Chains A and B, each alone.
Chain A
Amino acid sequence: MTLPAIGRRLARSLLGWSLVWSLAVAAAVWLAAKDEAVELLDDTLMSSAEVLASLMVDLPAAVAAPPARVTVVTDHGSGRFAWQVVGPQGQLLVRSSLAPAQPWVLLQQPGFGVAGTWRLYALALGAGGRVLYVGQTFEERYEAQADIALSAALAALALGLLGHVWLRARVSHELAPLNRLSQRLSGYDPLAAGASLGAAEREELQPVQAAIDELARRLARRVAHERAFTAHAAHALRTPLAGIDAQLAVALREAPATLQPRLQRVRDAAGRLQRVVAALLALFRSGVELQPQPVDLGTLLARLPADGLQVEVPAGATLVADPDLLTAALVNLLDNAVRHGAHRVRVSLPRPGQVRLEDDGPGVPAERRIALQQALDAQAYEGRMGLGLMLADMVARSHGGRLLLPPTAAGFAAELHLAP
C-alpha cells in the first residue's frame, strides 16, 4: 500500500491552487482590461472627432451647401476610424472612404451612439447645423479589446505557472532535511558508542529527533541490562553445570558397577541440560549481536553430541550463519531426532542459506506436521511444540529466515532457511 506523501500532496495542492489562482487572476484581468479598452477606444474616438472637427471648421461653403455629389475622401490613415459630415437636413456631405454611403443621422445630439455595426461619436461642426460623425466598427473594437485582454490574461497565467514551478522547488527543498533525516536514521545504530542523530536541521524536526534519541537511549539501556543479565546468567548457570559434569565423571569412576548405568543416565541428562542452557543463552543474545560467518557444516556437526545418531553430511558443505546460533539449532534438531527414535540423519543444502535435516524415524502424521508448521508460521510456540523446533525457528528468524517442515516419504524433515 502506498501511503500519502507530503511532497506529492503539497505538489498536487500547489498545482491546483496555481491553476485556480491563474485562471481567477486572468479572468479578473480580462474583465478589467476589457472595460479599460472600451473607455480607451471611446476616448480615442472622441479625440479623433475633435481633431477632425478642428480641421473641418474652415471647410469651404461649397461643402456647407448641399452638393450635387457626396465628396469621398480617401482615407490614408490606419483605417481604424471612418467619418462623415452630415448636413442639417440629414444629407451626407463628405465621408471617408471607409465610411458607409448612407448618412449616420441617428444621432441628434452630439455624443456617443450606435448605428448598426458602428460605434459613433457625433460633434457639431460650426453653427451651420452640420454634424461630424466619427465611427469605428464594433468588430475593430472587439479585436482591440480581445488583444489587450488576452495579453493581460496570458501574462497572469504565465506568472501563475512560474509561481507554481518556484513553489514546487521550494517544497522539495524544504522537505530535503526530512529525506536526509531518513538517510541518517537508516545508518543509525543506537547501540554504537556515542550514537546520536546529531543536530536537527529544522525546528520542526527537533522534537522528532529528540524523541528518537530518547528512544535509542532507552533501547541501549535495556540492551545493556539484558547483556549484563546474560553474562551474569551465563556465569551463574555454566559453572555449576560444568561442576555437576565433573563430579559425575568422578562418581562414575568411583561408583560400584551396579550404580554406573544410573549415574551415566544422570550425566546424559545433565549433558542435555547443558545444551539447552547454551542454546537458550545463545538465543537470548541473538538479534543483538548476530555474527554470521562461513561455517563448515561437516566440522560443526562432527563436534556436536549425537548420542549414537549417524549423521551424513555432504563433503564441503558450508553456509553463512552465526556459528553459535546454528549450533544451538542443530543440536536441538538432532536431539529431537534421537528422542523420536531416529538412527540416521541425512543433512543436505537444498539452496544456499538452507539446511535440510531428514531422519529415518517414524515421523509425524500429516495433520500434526501441518499444525506444527502453522504454529511455526504464526510464531505461536507455547504449548504447541517442544523447545527444539521453537529454538530452531527462532534461530532461523534471527537470521531473517524461518523453519519449514516439508513433507517427506518417510521420517521427519526440517529445513532451516537462514535468509528470507
Chain B
Amino acid sequence: MRLLLIEDDDILGEGLRDYLRAEGHGVDWCRRLADAAAYRGEPYDGLLVDWQLPDGSGLDWLREQRHRGDTTPALMLTARDRLSDRIQGLDSGADDYLVKPFAPEELAARLRAITRRVSGGTAARRRFGEVEIDLAARSATVGGVPADLTAREWAVLEALVLRAGRIVAKTDLERLVLGFESELASNALEVHVSALRRKLGRELIDTVRGLGYRVGVPQ
C-alpha cells in the first residue's frame, strides 16, 4: 500500500515509516500540513494523520480533503483520548482513530481493515480462481499451497487486489508500491509482476497494453 504519513514527532514518524516500509508499504512521511500539499493528487491507499501538527489541525486538513472529494481511507493518530474527541474525529471524516501510545502492529492491522472496507468488503480473504489472498495475514496460496512472496511482490499484489477490477497505470503502481522516496529501477515493476505470475499463475494479473495492469473481480 502507498501511504501518506503526516506526523511531526521525529521518533514516532521515523519509527512508523520504517515499520510500514518493512511491512512492504510505500510511505511518504511529512512533518507539516504545508508539506502534505506537495502530495496532493497522488494515489494513496491510506492516510495516517496526526491531529495536532505544528501548522494546524490534522482534523481540519482531513475535513478539507473530504470536502474536495478525496475518499482515501484515513486513520487519525492522536494523543486526545476523550470520548468527545473520538466522536469528533470520526465525524470529521476519519475512518478510524488510534490513540497514542499504540503498537505499530495495531496501526498496520487497522490500516488493513479500513483499506479492505474501501476496496469492497471487510473480509480479509479474496479468492481469484485457484489463488486465495489473505490481506490480513499478508499471504497468498495457490490451490492451498502457500506462495513465497517478497515484500515488494506482496506490495504490488496488494495494490492490485485492493483495486480489483480496475486498471492501475504503471506509474501509479510504482508510486503505490514505493512512494517518492525510493526509486525503482526502470524495469523493476515488470520484474515483480512476472515473478508474481510465475508464483501465482499467469491468469491472475492482466496486462492492459499501454494502460497498466489489472486483476479481475474476486469470486
Q: Which residues of A contact B (CB under 8 A)?
A: 231, 234-235, 237-247, 249-250, 253-254, 271, 274, 277-278, 281, 289, 291, 324
| Residue from the list B14, B100, B104 in contact with A238, Cβ < 8 A | B100
A238 to B51 CA separation, bound complex (whole angstroms): 13
Complex contacts, B101 vs chain A, CB 8 Å: 238-239, 241-242, 244-245, 274, 277-278
Q: Are A238 and B22 in contact (CB under 8 A)?
A: no
Count chain B CB atoms within 10 A of each CB in A240, A246, A278 and give the residue with the most. A246
B203 beta carbon closer than 8 Å to chain A: no
B109 beta carbon closer than 8 Å to chain A: no
Q: Are B19 and A250 in contact (CB under 8 A)?
A: yes
Q: Are A234 and B22 in contact (CB under 8 A)?
A: no
| Contacts of B62-103 to chain A: CB distance below 8 A | 77, 79-83, 99-103
Complex contacts, A249 vs chain B, CB 8 Å: 15, 19, 103-105
Interface string of B1-16 (1 = CB under 8 A from A): 0000000011111111
Complex contacts, B141 vs chain A, CB 8 Å: none
Q: Are B22 and A250 in contact (CB under 8 A)?
A: yes
A231 to B85 CA separation, bound complex (whole angstroms): 12
A254 to B116 CA separation, bound complex (whole angstroms): 28
A237 to B11 CA separation, bound complex (whole angstroms): 13
Known interface pairs A249-B103, A291-B83. Does A240 touch B18 (Cβ–Cβ under 8 Å)?
no
Least CB distance, B105 to chain A, in whole angstroms: 7
Q: Are B103 and A240 in contact (CB under 8 A)?
A: no
B52 beta carbon closer than 8 Å to chain A: yes
Q: Are A242 and B12 in contact (CB under 8 A)?
A: yes
| Residue from the list B22, B79, B82, B102 in contact with A245, Cβ < 8 A | B102
Complex contacts, B105 vs chain A, CB 8 Å: 249
Q: Are A243 and B12 in contact (CB under 8 A)?
A: yes
Q: Are B79 and A253 in contact (CB under 8 A)?
A: no
Q: Which residue of B lies closest to A274 (CB)?
A: B101
| Contacts of B165-192 to chain A: CB distance below 8 A | none
Complex contacts, B102 vs chain A, CB 8 Å: 242, 245
Least CB distance, A350 to chain B, in whole angstroms: 28
17 sampled A-B residue pairs with Cβ under 8 A: A235-B52, A235-B79, A238-B99, A238-B100, A239-B12, A239-B100, A240-B12, A241-B100, A242-B77, A243-B13, A243-B14, A243-B15, A245-B102, A246-B11, A246-B12, A253-B19, A271-B103
Size of B's binding interface in residues, CB under 8 A: 25
| Residue from the list A240, A271, A277, A291 in contact with B9, Cβ < 8 A | A240
Q: Are A243 and B79 in contact (CB under 8 A)?
A: no
Total A-B Cβ pairs within 8 A: 74
A244 to B100 CA separation, bound complex (whole angstroms): 11
Least CB distance, B58 to chain A, in whole angstroms: 13
A246 to B103 CA separation, bound complex (whole angstroms): 7
Complex contacts, B18 vs chain A, CB 8 Å: 246, 250
Complex contacts, A246 vs chain B, CB 8 Å: 11-12, 15-16, 18-19, 104
Q: Which residue of B lies closest to A270 (CB)?
A: B101
Least CB distance, B66 to chain A, in whole angstroms: 24
Q: Which residue of B lies closest to A244 (CB)?
A: B11
Least CB distance, B102 to chain A, in whole angstroms: 6
Least CB distance, B94 to chain A, in whole angstroms: 17
Count chain A CB atoms within 10 A of each CB in B13, B15, B105 and give the residue with the most. B15
Q: Are B11 and A247 in contact (CB under 8 A)?
A: yes
| Residue from the list B9, B22, B77, B99 in contact with A253, Cβ < 8 A | B22
A242 to B98 CA separation, bound complex (whole angstroms): 11
Least CB distance, A302 to chain B, in whole angstroms: 14
Chain A to chain B: the 5 pairs with minimum beta-carbon distance, closest first: A246-B15, A243-B11, A243-B12, A241-B101, A238-B100
A253 to B151 CA separation, bound complex (whole angstroms): 14
Least CB distance, A294 to chain B, in whole angstroms: 14
Q: Are A240 and B81 in contact (CB under 8 A)?
A: no
Least CB distance, B41 to chain A, in whole angstroms: 28
Complex contacts, A245 vs chain B, CB 8 Å: 15, 101-104
Q: Are A247 and B80 in contact (CB under 8 A)?
A: no
Q: Are A324 and B81 in contact (CB under 8 A)?
A: yes
Q: Which residue of B lies closest to A246 (CB)?
A: B15
Complex contacts, A243 vs chain B, CB 8 Å: 9-15
Complex contacts, B10 vs chain A, CB 8 Å: 243
A396 to B99 CA separation, bound complex (whole angstroms): 24
Complex contacts, A277 vs chain B, CB 8 Å: 101
Q: Are B79 and A234 in contact (CB under 8 A)?
A: yes
Least CB distance, A40 to chain B, in whole angstroms: 89
Least CB distance, A236 to chain B, in whole angstroms: 8
| Residue from the list B9, B15, B99, B100 in contact with A250, Cβ < 8 A | B15
Complex contacts, A281 vs chain B, CB 8 Å: 81
Least CB distance, A9 to chain B, in whole angstroms: 49
A281 to B80 CA separation, bound complex (whole angstroms): 11
Q: Which residue of A lies closest to B7 (CB)?
A: A239
Q: Are A238 and B79 in contact (CB under 8 A)?
A: yes
Least CB distance, A45 to chain B, in whole angstroms: 98
A231 to B77 CA separation, bound complex (whole angstroms): 15
A50 to B77 CA separation, bound complex (whole angstroms): 120
Complex contacts, A235 vs chain B, CB 8 Å: 52, 79-80
A254 to B19 CA separation, bound complex (whole angstroms): 10
Interface string of B99-123 (1 = CB under 8 A from A): 1111111000000000000000000
A223 to B105 CA separation, bound complex (whole angstroms): 36
A247 to B12 CA separation, bound complex (whole angstroms): 7
Q: Are A247 and B14 in contact (CB under 8 A)?
A: yes
Least CB distance, A90 to chain B, in whole angstroms: 118
A249 to B15 CA separation, bound complex (whole angstroms): 8
Q: Which residue of B lies closest to A293 (CB)?
A: B83
A225 to B199 CA separation, bound complex (whole angstroms): 61
Least CB distance, B174 to chain A, in whole angstroms: 24
A306 to B22 CA separation, bound complex (whole angstroms): 27
Q: Which residue of A lies closest to B50 (CB)?
A: A239
